[in-house]
Copies of this chain bind each other. A is one copy, B any other.
Amino acid sequence: MEHSRTSTPVTSADIEHFAGLGIGAVHEAKQLEASYNVDVFGKYHGDAQDVLFPKSTQQVSEILAHCNQRGIGVVVQGGNSGVAGGAIAHRGEVILSLRDMNKVRDLDAISGVLVAEGGCVLEDLDNLVRHDGFIMPVDLGAKKQCMIGGNVSTCAGGLRYLRYGSLRGSVLGLEVVLPDGRILDSLFTLKKDASGYDVKQLFIGAEGTLGVVTAVAVALAPKPRSSQVAVLGLQNFARIQRAFVLARQTLGEIVSAFEFWEKRCTELVIEHEKRDCPLKSTHEFYVLIETRGSFLRHDVEKMDAFLNLLQEHEVVDELRVFRDAEDMENIWLFRSLMAEAHAKSGCMHVYDFSLPSKSQYELLVAVKSHLEAAGLYGKPGMLVSDVTIFGHIGDDNIHLQVIASEFGRLVEESMEPWVYEWVGGHGGSIAAEHGLGAHKGQFLKYAKSPVVIETMKALKQLLDPNNIMNPGKHISRA
């Protein structure tokens, strides 16, 4: 059976039905346009006419049962901080917002397991669990806005993946409402389970195409007792990799983040966010290394040994270490504002790839040449003003930004599918942590084998036979 390609339009009878169930809603065009029909960087514009705000799993179930029966498309929206268009309606679907599903159901301060509803904001959860000596095992630039249900649905990676690993390991259980309204209660709260297929894994990273993640059980990480940040200035990308190897050797188990960015990223943050650079001189590349440990004196000794080694081996041109909480916060803010600064400098096309370390810088060079050859980049006044990379060393994950003076189709037509083919050809992933979203599904074939794609499609067909969940996005486009 082929998936239906259109959604049934929402009628006033449907709206009355939802109102009769006591479900909050917004239908006002201006409000929709300002908050729900546009993504965080203004690239994706939606056409939903209705946003629903269920307050309970039961209400989510009633919404989906009705939509499934009527064939109405549903787009789930958490904090709407996604950058791949996955939470934007583009065929008149109803938006199901998790905003009012924001209760913390349980926090076990002994085992360190949190059970929270999908609409809880990540930063709020992190603040809460810190009182009991824990932290959330995921941290993102968007933490003030993004919600844990969305984090799970995009399999968010973020800033400390290197230390705390994938949400596939930290998420112990999920409560999911299936497209037909059935409630899949898989809210297990213990570490190990090998009894049957791990059904919850299907919904981690499914971007709302298989159901609605209404609650999450997460294994928290212990709050570190000591923390330090070092910032390095380096001449070339090869030295970043050299520094990473030395960090693994000397900092060992206390490394918690190893971020890099290039000169232009620093300039954009200084210009558009009015922040000071953490280093005095200008460098081709910058690295932010964080350690988190349980004993400051030991961690300081390890950090000093590492920094000495970097200088002995002439890996860095400048380095500074920060141990004051406010300093460290400012440096993280500098790093976290990078995407925003790019977006303020023009129309940002963001790409998010996994690549073997040897291919990461090579990609930047290839993209610049490609856009130059297309006559779009390299001279003043051309459509593309900047091409930059920054990312997470050790996670194999880089973000590539192409900044243009207008969105239009020209950049996409030049870049795609060329860049996806390049990444697939180098053994990479075309979506490392941002997800497939609205339009990357069509390029999946450049990186995944046909049998894998067939299996994904069969899973979608099995769980959402009426194709109501985020229709026309993600794997439906593959």
Task: Give Cα distance in the complex from A441 to B196, angstroms.
Answer: 8
Chain B residue nearest to A251 (CB atoms) is B294
A451 touches B192 (CB 8 A): no
Q: Bound state CA distance, A193 and B204, in angstroms?
A: 11
The one of B190, B210, B250, B428 that contacts A429, using a Cβ cutoff of 8 Å: B190
The answer to whether A111 and B201 have CB atoms under 8 Å apart is: no
Give complex CA distance A475, B197 in Å. Answer: 8
0 or 1 for each of A162-204: is its CB under 8 Å from B? (1 = yes): 0001101100000000100011111011111111111101101
What residue in chain B is nearest A169 (Cβ atoms)? B169
Write out the residue numbers on chain B whose beta carbons fall within 8 Å of the beta carbon of A204: 198
A256 to chain B, nearest CB (A): 9
Write the chain B residue with the least CB distance to A219.
B165
Taking CB atoms and an 8 Å cut-off, the chain A residues in 412-431 that contact chain B are 427-431
**Does A233 reach chain B (CB closer than 8 Å)?**
no
Known: A110-B357, A357-B110, A451-B183. A433 touches B194 (CB 8 A): yes
Q: Is the CB–CB distance between A195 and B397 below 8 Å?
A: no
Question: Does residue A452 face the partner (Cβ distance < 8 Å to B)?
Answer: yes
Given A189-B427, A427-B189, are A198 and B194 also a contact pair (CB < 8 Å)? no
* Bound CA span A169–B191, Å: 13
Q: Which of A110, A190, A210 has the most CB of B within 10 A?
A: A190
In the complex, are the beta carbons of B194 and A154 less than 8 A apart?
yes
A55 in contact (CB, < 8 A): no
Q: Which residue of B lies closest to A186 (CB)?
A: B452
Known contacts: A183-B451, A185-B452, A295-B252. The answer to whether A198 contacts B301 by CB under 8 A is no
A431 in contact with B194 (CB, 8 Å): yes
Number of A interface residues in the complex (CB < 8 A): 88
Q: Which residues of B contact A458 (CB under 8 A)?
A: 462
Q: Which residues of B contact A249 (CB under 8 A)?
A: 294
- For the complex, give the distance between the alpha carbons of A354 and B111 in Å: 13
Q: How far is the CA of A403 from the CA of B49 in the complex (A)?
A: 66
Least CB distance, A121 to chain B, in whole angstroms: 21
Q: Mark A247-270, 1 if CB is under 8 A from B, else 0.
A: 011111110000000000000000
A191 to chain B, nearest CB (A): 5
Q: Give Cα A280–Cα B431 distance, bound, in whole angstroms.
A: 57
How would residues 427 to 439 of chain A score, 1 for a CB under 8 Å from any chain B CB and 0 otherwise?
1111111111000
Report A360-399 CB contacts with B as 1/0, cut-off 8 Å.
Answer: 0000000000000000000000000000000000111100
Q: Smallest distance from the beta carbon of A372 to chain B beta carbons, Å?
A: 28
The answer to whether B202 and A197 touch across the interface, beta carbons within 8 angstroms, is yes
CB distance from A350 to the nearest CB of B (A): 14
A459 contacts the other chain (CB 8 A): yes
Kindly state the separation between the CA atoms of A310 and B41 in the bound complex, as whole angstroms. Answer: 54
Residues of B within 8 A of A148 (CB): none
Chain B residues with CB below 8 A from A475, complex form: 196-197
Given contacts A197-B475, A356-B111, A452-B186, contact A192 B298 (CB under 8 A): no
A194 and B157 contact, Cβ closer than 8 Å, known pairs A186-B452, A253-B254, A456-B199:
yes
Q: Which of A28-36, A66-74, A331-339, A442-450 lines the interface with chain B?
A: A442-450
28 contacts between A and B (CB under 8 A): A110-B357, A161-B191, A168-B168, A183-B451, A186-B448, A186-B452, A190-B355, A190-B356, A190-B396, A190-B432, A191-B354, A192-B354, A193-B431, A194-B429, A194-B434, A195-B436, A195-B444, A195-B447, A196-B441, A196-B444, A197-B202, A197-B206, A197-B456, A201-B202, A249-B294, A251-B294, A294-B302, A298-B298
Residues of A within 8 A of B (CB): 110-111, 154-155, 157, 161, 165-166, 168-169, 178, 182-186, 188-199, 201-202, 204-206, 210, 222, 225, 245, 248-254, 292-295, 298, 301-302, 354-357, 394-397, 427-436, 440-441, 444, 447-449, 451-453, 455-456, 458-460, 462-463, 474-475, 478
Given A197-B460, A198-B205; 16 other pairs, CB 8 A cutoff: A178-B455, A182-B451, A190-B396, A191-B397, A192-B397, A195-B430, A195-B435, A196-B205, A196-B475, A197-B210, A198-B201, A199-B459, A202-B202, A222-B252, A295-B298, A459-B462
Interface pairs A-B: 10 shortest CB-CB? A252-B294, A169-B169, A201-B201, A195-B431, A190-B396, A192-B432, A190-B354, A193-B429, A298-B298, A185-B449
